[in-house]
Homo-oligomer: A and B are copies of this chain.
Amino acid sequence: MSMQVVQSIVDARSVCRLQKCQGNNVGLVPTMGFLHEGHMSLVRRARSDNDFLVVSIFVNPTQFSPSEDFGTYPRNFEQDRRLLVDEGVDLIFCPSTEEMYCSGSSTFIEVTGQLTANLCAVSRPHFFRGVASVVAKLFNIINPHRAYFGRKDAQQLAVIKRMVQDLNFDIEIVPVPIVRDFDGLAKSSRNAYLNPDQRKSSTVLFRALQHAEMLIIDGERNSSRILAEMERMIQATEYTRIDYTNIVCASSFEPQGYINSEVLIAAAVWVASTRLIDNIQIDPDNLTP
């Protein structure tokens, strides 16, 4: 069967409803397009798990603040389409902004509490409500059995899992590991913004996380000392400005002064005018040096 491309909500809904009626499992990979190897690993995992695979491409305005890069966010539909055909995707859902947000649209989903008290929620206060709301819309349109999210956006993944549980969506959320470039930089559509010098500087983000891991392997458990070393490394690198570094509980996202259970070490760093995020998850009781 050849890949379908639909822009309308009604069409996407009816295609997916037919598949479910025929007893097929439907998988969804929500994306903002400009696909890279990180997305493709979600697509391949979803392809192998499901009978019918939907990839949505929608640059969602409500998760950008006015000062952010909604207008310049990279887009290349024709390239995305070719990549998805090659992976055997069944349906691309690529609605317009007007199709997704009708006039008077005013409903938002807020995940409150510890999950959205730190990390990206501080410098991007409306980001997670924009993400949660658009993902709920996609869930209601596609009605998938499973949906796939990358671990690079660890806080987003936690917010979506919380929303699915709290609002009783009947959907399995499948986390997929971070895909990195040859030098460790996590794949991101925003890497396209970096010039060669900035691209070199950007590797400090993952190197700082690796250094933190090494300190923990060496026995360090004090978060402040680890974060201080990470920040020192990042600050010593040209073009960088730290948004945050933090060590939080991997499930509750509560900041941890002392590491005695599984933690997420997360950082957001501006490299010139490009904001990059990355993270690693570490269980001090199960270290693999």
* A residues adjacent to B (C-beta < 8 A): 9, 13, 102, 104-113, 115, 132-133, 136-137, 140-141, 143, 162-163, 165-170
Contact = CB atoms under 8 A, between A and B. Distances in A.
Contacts of A169: 140
Nearest to A107: B166
A106 B113 contact: yes
Given A133-B167, A136-B167, A141-B168, A111 B115 contact: no
A99 to B, nearest CB: 10
B102 A107 contact: no
18 contacts: A104-B113, A105-B165, A106-B115, A106-B162, A106-B166, A107-B112, A107-B132, A107-B162, A107-B163, A107-B166, A108-B109, A108-B112, A109-B110, A109-B167, A133-B167, A140-B167, A140-B168, A143-B170
Contacts of A141: 168
Nearest to A112: B106
A210 B136 CA distance: 42
When A and B form their complex, which 10 residue pairs have the shortest distance between CB atoms, in order from nearest? A107-B166, A106-B113, A140-B168, A106-B112, A137-B168, A105-B166, A107-B163, A107-B111, A141-B168, A108-B110
